[in-house]
Structure 1
Protein backbone atom coordinates (compact mmCIF):
# COMPACT_ATOMS: atom_id res chain seq x y z
CA UNK A 1 0.00 0.00 0.00
CA UNK A 2 1.49 3.31 -1.09
CA UNK A 3 2.14 6.14 1.36
CA UNK A 4 1.60 9.72 0.25
CA UNK A 5 4.66 11.96 0.05
CA UNK A 6 3.91 15.61 0.77
CA UNK A 7 3.99 17.16 -2.67
CA UNK A 8 3.31 20.86 -3.35
CA UNK A 9 2.46 20.05 -6.96
CA UNK A 10 -0.41 17.78 -5.96
CA UNK A 11 -1.96 19.63 -3.02
CA UNK A 12 -4.51 21.30 -5.32
CA UNK A 13 -6.15 17.89 -5.76
CA UNK A 14 -7.66 18.40 -2.33
CA UNK A 15 -9.76 21.23 -3.80
CA UNK A 16 -10.99 19.34 -6.87
CA UNK A 17 -14.55 18.08 -7.14
CA UNK A 18 -15.51 14.44 -6.80
CA UNK A 19 -16.34 14.30 -10.52
CA UNK A 20 -12.89 15.60 -11.42
CA UNK A 21 -11.07 13.27 -9.05
CA UNK A 22 -13.20 10.40 -10.31
CA UNK A 23 -11.52 10.67 -13.71
CA UNK A 24 -8.11 10.28 -12.11
CA UNK A 25 -9.26 7.43 -9.87
CA UNK A 26 -10.65 5.59 -12.89
CA UNK A 27 -7.37 5.82 -14.83
CA UNK A 28 -5.35 4.71 -11.81
CA UNK A 29 -7.51 1.73 -10.89
CA UNK A 30 -9.03 0.34 -14.08
CA UNK A 31 -7.77 -0.58 -17.52
CA UNK A 32 -9.63 1.78 -19.82
CA UNK A 33 -9.59 -0.74 -22.68
CA UNK A 34 -11.63 -3.44 -20.98
CA UNK A 35 -12.80 -1.80 -17.75
CA UNK A 36 -11.13 -4.43 -15.59
CA UNK A 37 -9.27 -3.56 -12.42
CA UNK A 38 -5.53 -3.11 -12.88
CA UNK A 39 -3.57 -5.92 -11.26
CA UNK A 40 -0.88 -3.44 -10.19
CA UNK A 41 -3.15 -0.96 -8.41
CA UNK A 42 -3.49 -0.81 -4.63
CA UNK A 43 -5.86 2.14 -4.17
CA UNK A 44 -9.07 0.11 -4.06
CA UNK A 45 -7.73 -1.98 -1.19
CA UNK A 46 -6.96 1.00 1.04
CA UNK A 47 -9.16 1.69 4.08
CA UNK A 48 -9.75 5.24 2.80
CA UNK A 49 -11.13 4.04 -0.53
CA UNK A 50 -13.30 1.41 1.12
CA UNK A 51 -14.70 3.91 3.60
CA UNK A 52 -15.20 6.99 1.44
CA UNK A 53 -15.62 5.97 -2.23
CA UNK A 54 -17.09 7.71 -4.24
CA UNK A 55 -16.50 10.76 -2.03
CA UNK A 56 -13.02 11.15 -3.48
CA UNK A 57 -12.28 14.46 -1.79
CA UNK A 58 -12.09 12.67 1.56
CA UNK A 59 -9.23 10.44 0.47
CA UNK A 60 -7.39 12.58 -2.07
CA UNK A 61 -4.01 11.89 -0.42
CA UNK A 62 -4.50 8.17 -1.07
CA UNK A 63 -5.19 9.02 -4.72
CA UNK A 64 -2.02 11.11 -4.80
CA UNK A 65 -0.06 8.26 -3.21
CA UNK A 66 -1.27 5.84 -5.89
CA UNK A 67 -0.21 8.27 -8.62
CA UNK A 68 3.22 8.70 -7.03
CA UNK A 69 3.61 4.92 -6.74
CA UNK A 70 2.93 4.35 -10.43
CA UNK A 71 5.74 6.80 -11.13
CA UNK A 72 8.27 4.60 -9.40
CA UNK A 73 9.35 1.09 -10.24
CA UNK A 74 8.69 -1.53 -7.59
CA UNK A 75 12.26 -1.57 -6.28
CA UNK A 76 12.41 2.21 -5.89
CA UNK A 77 9.06 2.21 -4.14
CA UNK A 78 10.23 -0.53 -1.79
CA UNK A 79 13.42 1.29 -0.88
CA UNK A 80 11.38 4.42 -0.14
CA UNK A 81 9.26 2.52 2.40
CA UNK A 82 6.35 2.21 -0.04
CA UNK A 83 6.56 5.85 -1.07
CA UNK A 84 6.58 6.67 -4.76
CA UNK A 85 8.15 9.60 -6.58
CA UNK A 86 7.12 13.22 -6.39
CA UNK A 87 4.89 14.44 -9.21
CA UNK A 88 7.62 16.55 -10.83
CA UNK A 89 9.78 13.46 -11.32
CA UNK A 90 6.82 11.49 -12.64
CA UNK A 91 5.83 14.28 -15.05
CA UNK A 92 9.34 14.78 -16.44
CA UNK A 93 9.65 11.03 -16.97
CA UNK A 94 6.39 11.06 -18.96
CA UNK A 95 7.61 14.06 -20.97
CA UNK A 96 10.80 12.23 -21.88
CA UNK A 97 8.73 9.25 -22.99
CA UNK A 98 6.60 11.50 -25.22
CA UNK A 99 9.69 13.37 -26.49
CA UNK A 100 8.46 16.70 -25.12
CA UNK A 101 10.83 19.67 -25.21
CA UNK A 102 10.98 21.15 -21.72
CA UNK A 103 13.31 22.64 -19.14
CA UNK A 104 13.61 20.92 -15.78
CA UNK A 105 13.76 24.38 -14.21
CA UNK A 106 10.35 25.39 -15.56
CA UNK A 107 7.23 25.51 -13.43
CA UNK A 108 5.02 22.43 -13.28
CA UNK A 109 2.30 24.28 -15.17
CA UNK A 110 4.70 25.16 -18.00
CA UNK A 111 5.97 21.59 -18.29
CA UNK A 112 2.39 20.30 -18.33
CA UNK A 113 1.42 22.75 -21.08
CA UNK A 114 4.41 21.62 -23.14
CA UNK A 115 3.20 18.05 -22.70
CA UNK A 116 -0.34 18.98 -23.76
CA UNK A 117 1.00 20.76 -26.85
CA UNK A 118 2.90 17.59 -27.78
CA UNK A 119 -0.32 15.60 -27.41
CA UNK A 120 -2.07 18.07 -29.72
CA UNK A 121 0.85 18.08 -32.17
CA UNK A 122 0.61 14.33 -32.60
CA UNK A 123 -3.18 14.43 -32.85
CA UNK A 124 -3.18 17.28 -35.39
CA UNK A 125 -0.81 15.35 -37.63
CA UNK A 126 -3.54 12.73 -38.10
CA UNK A 127 -6.26 15.20 -39.09
CA UNK A 128 -7.53 15.88 -42.59
CA UNK A 129 -7.45 19.36 -44.16
CA UNK A 130 -11.21 19.66 -43.71
CA UNK A 131 -10.96 18.70 -40.06
CA UNK A 132 -8.20 21.25 -39.49
CA UNK A 133 -10.36 23.97 -41.02
CA UNK A 134 -13.27 22.99 -38.78
CA UNK A 135 -11.04 22.99 -35.71
CA UNK A 136 -9.65 26.42 -36.62
CA UNK A 137 -13.17 27.84 -36.92
CA UNK A 138 -14.48 26.23 -33.76
CA UNK A 139 -11.48 27.34 -31.71
CA UNK A 140 -11.58 30.83 -33.28
CA UNK A 141 -7.95 30.62 -34.40
CA UNK A 142 -8.55 32.85 -37.47
CA UNK A 143 -6.48 30.75 -39.86
CA UNK A 144 -7.46 30.93 -43.54
CA UNK A 145 -5.39 27.93 -44.59
CA UNK A 146 -4.71 25.92 -41.43
CA UNK A 147 -2.01 23.29 -41.32
CA UNK A 148 -0.99 21.20 -38.29
CA UNK A 149 2.00 23.49 -37.79
CA UNK A 150 -0.04 26.72 -38.03
CA UNK A 151 -2.75 25.42 -35.70
CA UNK A 152 -0.12 24.42 -33.16
CA UNK A 153 1.58 27.82 -33.41
CA UNK A 154 -1.79 29.55 -32.93
CA UNK A 155 -2.48 27.44 -29.85
CA UNK A 156 0.97 28.24 -28.45
CA UNK A 157 0.39 31.97 -28.97
CA UNK A 158 -3.06 31.78 -27.39
CA UNK A 159 -1.95 30.07 -24.19
CA UNK A 160 0.80 32.64 -23.67
CA UNK A 161 -1.84 35.35 -23.34
CA UNK A 162 -4.92 33.58 -22.04
CA UNK A 163 -5.63 31.22 -19.18
CA UNK A 164 -8.87 30.32 -20.94
CA UNK A 165 -6.90 29.10 -23.96
CA UNK A 166 -4.74 26.97 -21.68
CA UNK A 167 -7.86 25.38 -20.18
CA UNK A 168 -9.27 24.76 -23.66
CA UNK A 169 -6.03 23.09 -24.73
CA UNK A 170 -6.03 20.94 -21.60
CA UNK A 171 -9.67 20.01 -22.19
CA UNK A 172 -9.08 19.00 -25.80
CA UNK A 173 -6.03 16.93 -24.92
CA UNK A 174 -7.71 15.23 -21.98
CA UNK A 175 -10.90 14.34 -23.84
CA UNK A 176 -9.04 13.03 -26.88
CA UNK A 177 -6.88 10.81 -24.69
CA UNK A 178 -9.84 9.59 -22.65
CA UNK A 179 -11.86 8.83 -25.78
CA UNK A 180 -8.93 6.93 -27.28
CA UNK A 181 -8.42 4.89 -24.14
CA UNK A 182 -12.06 3.94 -23.94
CA UNK A 183 -13.81 6.75 -22.08
CA UNK A 184 -14.15 7.07 -18.32
CA UNK A 185 -16.79 9.74 -17.71
CA UNK A 186 -19.48 11.73 -19.42
CA UNK A 187 -17.98 14.77 -21.09
CA UNK A 188 -20.67 17.10 -19.77
CA UNK A 189 -20.05 16.12 -16.16
CA UNK A 190 -16.28 16.33 -16.31
CA UNK A 191 -15.14 19.06 -18.67
CA UNK A 192 -15.72 22.77 -18.41
CA UNK A 193 -14.18 24.64 -21.37
CA UNK A 194 -17.14 25.66 -23.50
CA UNK A 195 -15.43 26.15 -26.87
CA UNK A 196 -13.49 22.92 -26.46
CA UNK A 197 -16.74 21.11 -25.72
CA UNK A 198 -18.23 22.60 -28.90
CA UNK A 199 -15.34 21.13 -30.86
CA UNK A 200 -15.70 17.71 -29.28
CA UNK A 201 -19.48 17.69 -29.70
CA UNK A 202 -19.24 18.09 -33.47
CA UNK A 203 -17.72 15.93 -36.23
CA UNK A 204 -14.27 17.14 -35.26
CA UNK A 205 -14.62 15.23 -32.01
CA UNK A 206 -14.53 12.01 -33.96
CA UNK A 207 -11.38 13.08 -35.79
CA UNK A 208 -9.37 14.53 -32.91
CA UNK A 209 -7.79 11.41 -31.56
CA UNK A 210 -4.85 10.29 -29.52
CA UNK A 211 -4.75 6.85 -31.08
CA UNK A 212 -0.99 7.31 -31.46
CA UNK A 213 -0.78 6.75 -27.70
CA UNK A 214 -1.64 3.10 -28.08
CA UNK A 215 1.20 2.54 -30.54
CA UNK A 216 3.76 4.86 -28.94
CA UNK A 217 3.40 3.94 -25.28
CA UNK A 218 4.90 0.66 -24.21
CA UNK A 219 5.08 -0.68 -20.70
CA UNK A 220 2.16 -1.04 -18.27
CA UNK A 221 3.30 1.82 -16.01
CA UNK A 222 3.32 4.36 -18.86
CA UNK A 223 -0.17 3.30 -19.87
CA UNK A 224 -1.19 4.66 -16.48
CA UNK A 225 1.16 7.59 -15.93
CA UNK A 226 0.78 9.21 -19.36
CA UNK A 227 -3.04 9.58 -19.28
CA UNK A 228 -2.89 10.31 -15.54
CA UNK A 229 -0.49 13.24 -16.08
CA UNK A 230 -2.70 14.58 -18.87
CA UNK A 231 -5.72 14.46 -16.57
CA UNK A 232 -3.78 16.10 -13.72
CA UNK A 233 -2.71 18.84 -16.15
CA UNK A 234 -6.35 19.39 -17.09
CA UNK A 235 -7.44 19.46 -13.44
CA UNK A 236 -4.74 22.03 -12.65
CA UNK A 237 -5.87 24.33 -15.48
CA UNK A 238 -9.48 24.02 -14.36
CA UNK A 239 -8.45 24.77 -10.77
CA UNK A 240 -6.45 27.83 -11.87
CA UNK A 241 -9.37 29.10 -13.96
CA UNK A 242 -11.61 28.99 -10.90
CA UNK A 243 -9.28 31.10 -8.76
Structure 2
Protein backbone atom coordinates (compact mmCIF):
# COMPACT_ATOMS: atom_id res chain seq x y z
CA UNK A 1 0.00 0.00 0.00
CA UNK A 2 1.17 3.51 -0.76
CA UNK A 3 1.99 6.04 1.93
CA UNK A 4 -0.64 8.75 2.41
CA UNK A 5 0.81 12.14 3.34
CA UNK A 6 0.50 12.38 7.10
CA UNK A 7 1.86 15.38 9.07
CA UNK A 8 1.89 13.27 12.25
CA UNK A 9 4.31 10.75 10.72
CA UNK A 10 6.53 13.06 8.66
CA UNK A 11 8.97 13.33 11.58
CA UNK A 12 10.06 9.73 10.95
CA UNK A 13 12.19 11.16 8.15
CA UNK A 14 14.35 12.95 10.76
CA UNK A 15 15.19 9.76 12.68
CA UNK A 16 18.23 7.57 12.18
CA UNK A 17 17.99 3.95 11.06
CA UNK A 18 19.09 2.87 14.54
CA UNK A 19 16.26 4.87 16.12
CA UNK A 20 13.74 3.32 13.72
CA UNK A 21 14.94 -0.22 14.38
CA UNK A 22 12.56 -1.05 17.26
CA UNK A 23 9.57 0.24 15.31
CA UNK A 24 10.44 -1.87 12.27
CA UNK A 25 10.89 -4.93 14.49
CA UNK A 26 7.47 -4.65 16.13
CA UNK A 27 5.78 -4.05 12.78
CA UNK A 28 7.31 -7.19 11.30
CA UNK A 29 7.60 -9.56 14.30
CA UNK A 30 5.17 -10.88 16.90
CA UNK A 31 5.74 -11.35 20.64
CA UNK A 32 7.39 -14.72 19.99
CA UNK A 33 9.91 -13.21 17.59
CA UNK A 34 8.24 -14.82 14.59
CA UNK A 35 7.53 -12.94 11.37
CA UNK A 36 3.99 -11.53 11.35
CA UNK A 37 1.69 -13.20 8.82
CA UNK A 38 -0.24 -9.94 8.36
CA UNK A 39 2.71 -7.63 7.65
CA UNK A 40 3.61 -6.43 4.16
CA UNK A 41 6.61 -4.20 4.87
CA UNK A 42 9.18 -6.91 4.14
CA UNK A 43 7.66 -7.37 0.68
CA UNK A 44 8.29 -3.75 -0.30
CA UNK A 45 11.02 -3.14 -2.88
CA UNK A 46 12.67 -0.39 -0.85
CA UNK A 47 12.78 -2.63 2.20
CA UNK A 48 14.46 -5.41 0.24
CA UNK A 49 16.89 -2.95 -1.32
CA UNK A 50 17.90 -0.97 1.78
CA UNK A 51 17.30 -3.10 4.90
CA UNK A 52 18.57 -2.52 7.61
CA UNK A 53 19.01 1.11 6.58
CA UNK A 54 15.44 1.88 7.66
CA UNK A 55 15.76 5.60 7.05
CA UNK A 56 15.76 4.92 3.30
CA UNK A 57 12.23 3.54 3.41
CA UNK A 58 10.56 5.53 6.19
CA UNK A 59 7.50 6.14 3.99
CA UNK A 60 6.95 2.40 3.66
CA UNK A 61 7.21 2.12 7.45
CA UNK A 62 4.62 4.88 7.86
CA UNK A 63 2.36 3.25 5.27
CA UNK A 64 2.50 -0.04 7.20
CA UNK A 65 1.21 1.72 10.31
CA UNK A 66 -1.57 3.42 8.35
CA UNK A 67 -2.64 0.13 6.78
CA UNK A 68 -2.77 -1.76 10.07
CA UNK A 69 -5.05 1.00 11.34
CA UNK A 70 -7.57 0.61 8.52
CA UNK A 71 -9.89 -2.08 7.25
CA UNK A 72 -8.13 -4.30 4.71
CA UNK A 73 -10.84 -4.06 2.04
CA UNK A 74 -11.37 -0.34 2.60
CA UNK A 75 -7.62 0.17 2.23
CA UNK A 76 -7.74 -1.44 -1.21
CA UNK A 77 -10.34 1.01 -2.45
CA UNK A 78 -8.69 4.14 -1.07
CA UNK A 79 -5.18 3.07 -2.07
CA UNK A 80 -3.77 3.21 1.46
CA UNK A 81 -4.55 3.13 5.13
CA UNK A 82 -5.84 5.77 7.53
CA UNK A 83 -4.07 8.82 9.03
CA UNK A 84 -1.98 8.14 12.12
CA UNK A 85 -4.20 10.25 14.38
CA UNK A 86 -7.13 7.99 13.53
CA UNK A 87 -5.02 4.97 14.44
CA UNK A 88 -4.02 6.66 17.71
CA UNK A 89 -7.62 7.50 18.65
CA UNK A 90 -8.72 3.94 17.88
CA UNK A 91 -6.01 2.62 20.22
CA UNK A 92 -7.08 5.09 22.94
CA UNK A 93 -10.69 3.89 22.61
CA UNK A 94 -9.50 0.31 22.93
CA UNK A 95 -7.45 1.16 26.03
CA UNK A 96 -10.29 3.25 27.55
CA UNK A 97 -8.21 6.44 27.58
CA UNK A 98 -9.91 9.73 28.42
CA UNK A 99 -8.98 12.15 25.64
CA UNK A 100 -10.32 14.88 23.38
CA UNK A 101 -10.19 13.90 19.71
CA UNK A 102 -9.66 17.57 18.81
CA UNK A 103 -6.49 17.80 20.90
CA UNK A 104 -3.06 17.65 19.28
CA UNK A 105 -1.62 14.25 18.42
CA UNK A 106 1.13 14.74 20.99
CA UNK A 107 -1.40 15.53 23.74
CA UNK A 108 -3.43 12.42 22.92
CA UNK A 109 -0.24 10.31 23.01
CA UNK A 110 0.52 11.76 26.44
CA UNK A 111 -3.00 10.87 27.60
CA UNK A 112 -2.37 7.28 26.53
CA UNK A 113 0.94 7.12 28.41
CA UNK A 114 -0.66 8.68 31.50
CA UNK A 115 -3.42 6.04 31.43
CA UNK A 116 -0.76 3.32 31.47
CA UNK A 117 1.01 5.06 34.34
CA UNK A 118 -2.18 5.64 36.33
CA UNK A 119 -3.13 1.96 36.04
CA UNK A 120 0.27 1.01 37.45
CA UNK A 121 0.17 3.55 40.29
CA UNK A 122 -3.26 2.32 41.40
CA UNK A 123 -1.77 -1.16 41.92
CA UNK A 124 1.13 0.07 44.07
CA UNK A 125 1.18 -0.32 47.85
CA UNK A 126 1.83 2.64 50.16
CA UNK A 127 5.36 1.33 50.71
CA UNK A 128 6.01 1.10 46.96
CA UNK A 129 4.64 4.62 46.42
CA UNK A 130 6.92 5.98 49.14
CA UNK A 131 9.92 4.18 47.62
CA UNK A 132 9.14 5.56 44.18
CA UNK A 133 8.77 9.03 45.64
CA UNK A 134 12.25 8.76 47.17
CA UNK A 135 13.70 7.59 43.85
CA UNK A 136 12.17 10.70 42.28
CA UNK A 137 13.80 12.91 44.92
CA UNK A 138 10.56 13.87 46.69
CA UNK A 139 10.32 14.79 50.37
CA UNK A 140 7.75 13.67 52.96
CA UNK A 141 6.99 10.52 50.98
CA UNK A 142 5.28 8.80 53.93
CA UNK A 143 2.02 10.61 53.10
CA UNK A 144 2.36 10.32 49.35
CA UNK A 145 -0.58 8.71 47.50
CA UNK A 146 -1.06 7.30 44.02
CA UNK A 147 -3.22 10.33 43.22
CA UNK A 148 -0.41 12.61 44.37
CA UNK A 149 2.12 10.83 42.15
CA UNK A 150 -0.31 10.93 39.24
CA UNK A 151 -0.59 14.71 39.61
CA UNK A 152 3.21 15.01 39.70
CA UNK A 153 3.68 12.90 36.59
CA UNK A 154 0.90 14.76 34.78
CA UNK A 155 2.68 18.04 35.54
CA UNK A 156 5.90 16.57 34.12
CA UNK A 157 4.15 15.61 30.88
CA UNK A 158 2.50 19.01 30.56
CA UNK A 159 5.81 20.80 31.12
CA UNK A 160 7.44 18.81 28.33
CA UNK A 161 11.19 18.78 27.84
CA UNK A 162 13.82 16.36 29.08
CA UNK A 163 11.95 15.16 32.20
CA UNK A 164 8.94 14.30 30.06
CA UNK A 165 11.24 12.33 27.77
CA UNK A 166 12.67 10.39 30.72
CA UNK A 167 9.20 9.49 31.94
CA UNK A 168 8.22 8.38 28.44
CA UNK A 169 11.29 6.12 28.30
CA UNK A 170 10.28 4.43 31.56
CA UNK A 171 6.69 3.76 30.48
CA UNK A 172 7.42 2.67 26.91
CA UNK A 173 10.33 0.44 27.92
CA UNK A 174 8.16 -1.40 30.46
CA UNK A 175 5.27 -1.92 28.03
CA UNK A 176 7.46 -3.17 25.19
CA UNK A 177 9.29 -5.49 27.60
CA UNK A 178 5.95 -6.99 28.61
CA UNK A 179 4.71 -7.41 25.03
CA UNK A 180 7.89 -8.47 23.25
CA UNK A 181 10.20 -9.61 26.02
CA UNK A 182 12.58 -6.86 24.90
CA UNK A 183 12.54 -3.18 25.79
CA UNK A 184 13.86 -0.16 23.96
CA UNK A 185 17.20 -0.64 22.28
CA UNK A 186 18.87 2.30 23.96
CA UNK A 187 22.44 1.05 23.47
CA UNK A 188 24.88 3.31 25.31
CA UNK A 189 22.24 5.89 26.17
CA UNK A 190 22.91 7.00 29.74
CA UNK A 191 19.19 7.41 30.31
CA UNK A 192 18.88 3.65 30.69
CA UNK A 193 21.45 3.76 33.49
CA UNK A 194 20.02 6.88 35.11
CA UNK A 195 16.52 5.43 35.28
CA UNK A 196 17.57 1.83 35.96
CA UNK A 197 16.30 1.83 39.57
CA UNK A 198 12.86 2.99 38.43
CA UNK A 199 12.76 0.73 35.39
CA UNK A 200 13.51 -2.33 37.51
CA UNK A 201 11.69 -1.04 40.60
CA UNK A 202 7.99 -0.68 41.45
CA UNK A 203 6.79 1.31 38.47
CA UNK A 204 8.67 -0.77 35.92
CA UNK A 205 7.64 -4.21 37.08
CA UNK A 206 4.06 -3.24 37.85
CA UNK A 207 3.57 -1.83 34.33
CA UNK A 208 5.24 -4.96 32.96
CA UNK A 209 3.03 -7.20 35.09
CA UNK A 210 -0.16 -5.41 34.07
CA UNK A 211 0.65 -5.62 30.39
CA UNK A 212 1.70 -9.25 30.58
CA UNK A 213 -1.93 -10.00 31.50
CA UNK A 214 -3.45 -7.74 28.82
CA UNK A 215 -5.24 -9.69 26.11
CA UNK A 216 -4.79 -7.61 22.98
CA UNK A 217 -7.63 -8.97 20.90
CA UNK A 218 -7.32 -8.91 17.13
CA UNK A 219 -4.19 -9.02 14.96
CA UNK A 220 -4.42 -5.32 14.07
CA UNK A 221 -4.37 -4.21 17.73
CA UNK A 222 -1.37 -6.43 18.38
CA UNK A 223 0.45 -4.12 15.99
CA UNK A 224 -1.20 -0.74 16.40
CA UNK A 225 -1.08 -0.59 20.22
CA UNK A 226 2.70 -1.14 20.57
CA UNK A 227 3.33 0.87 17.39
CA UNK A 228 1.51 3.92 18.74
CA UNK A 229 3.36 3.64 22.05
CA UNK A 230 6.67 3.38 20.18
CA UNK A 231 5.84 6.39 17.99
CA UNK A 232 4.99 8.44 21.08
CA UNK A 233 8.48 7.65 22.35
CA UNK A 234 10.15 8.48 19.03
CA UNK A 235 8.34 11.81 18.80
CA UNK A 236 9.55 12.79 22.28
CA UNK A 237 13.06 11.61 21.43
CA UNK A 238 13.13 13.75 18.29
CA UNK A 239 11.87 16.83 20.16
CA UNK A 240 14.48 16.46 22.91
CA UNK A 241 17.46 15.33 20.86
CA UNK A 242 19.67 18.28 21.84
CA UNK A 243 19.04 17.83 25.57
CA UNK A 244 19.62 14.06 25.27
CA UNK A 245 22.95 14.61 23.50
CA UNK A 246 24.04 17.04 26.21
CA UNK A 247 23.08 14.57 28.96
CA UNK A 248 24.99 11.78 27.23
CA UNK A 249 28.07 13.99 26.83
CA UNK A 250 28.05 15.06 30.47
CA UNK A 251 27.81 11.44 31.65
CA UNK A 252 30.44 9.94 29.36
- The alignment status of 1:218 with 2:226, answered yes or no, reads no
- The alignment status of 1:114 with 2:111, answered yes or no, reads yes
CA pair 85-200 structure 1, distance change in 2 beyond 3 A: same
Measure the CA separation in 2 of the matches of 1:84 and 1:190.
36
Measure the CA separation in 2 of the matches of 1:68 and 1:37.
19
Give the deviation of 1:186 after TM superposition: 5.7
Partner of 1:126: 123
Counterpart selection for 1:179 from 177, 180, 199: 177
Count of aligned residue pairs for this structure pair: 240
Give the deviation of 1:125 after TM superposition: 2.5
Partner of 2:13: 14
3-state secondary structure, aligned to 2:195: helix
Residues 1-243 of structure 1: pairs in structure 2 closer than 5 A: 2-32=1-31, 34-81=32-79, 83-142=80-139, 144=141, 145-184=143-182, 187-189=185-187, 193=191, 195-201=194-200, 205-209=204-208, 211-212=210-211, 214-242=213-241
Please tell me whether the aligned partners of residues 174 and 205 of structure 2 are also in contact (alpha carbons under 8 angstroms): no
Give the deviation of 1:237 after TM superposition: 0.6
Structure 2, unmatched stretches of 5+, are 243-252
Give the deviation of 1:30 after TM superposition: 0.4
Measure the CA separation in 1 of the matches of 2:158 and 2:184.
29
> Which structure has the greater CA radius of gyration?
2
CA pair 165-27 structure 1, distance change in 2 beyond 3 A: same
Q: Deviations over 1:25-60 (max 9, x none)?
A: 11111002x110110000011111111111111111
CA pair 73-49 structure 1, distance change in 2 beyond 3 A: same
Please tell me whether the aligned partners of residues 174 and 183 of structure 2 are also in contact (alpha carbons under 8 angstroms): no
Taking structure 2 as the reference length, the TM-score comes to 0.86
CA pair 41-142 structure 1, distance change in 2 beyond 3 A: farther
CA pair 142-10 structure 1, distance change in 2 beyond 3 A: farther
Superposed CA RMSD: 2.2
Measure the CA separation in 1 of the matches of 2:67 and 2:158.
33
Measure the CA separation in 1 of the matches of 2:188 and 2:103.
28
Give the deviation of 1:229 after TM superposition: 0.4
Measure the CA separation in 2 of the matches of 1:13 and 1:72.
20
Taking structure 1 as the reference length, the TM-score comes to 0.89
3-state secondary structure, aligned to 2:214: helix
Give the deviation of 1:197 after TM superposition: 4.1
CA pair 191-146 structure 1, distance change in 2 beyond 3 A: farther
CA pair 72-141 structure 1, distance change in 2 beyond 3 A: farther
Measure the CA separation in 2 of the matches of 1:204 and 1:101.
21
Give the deviation of 1:204 after TM superposition: 5.4
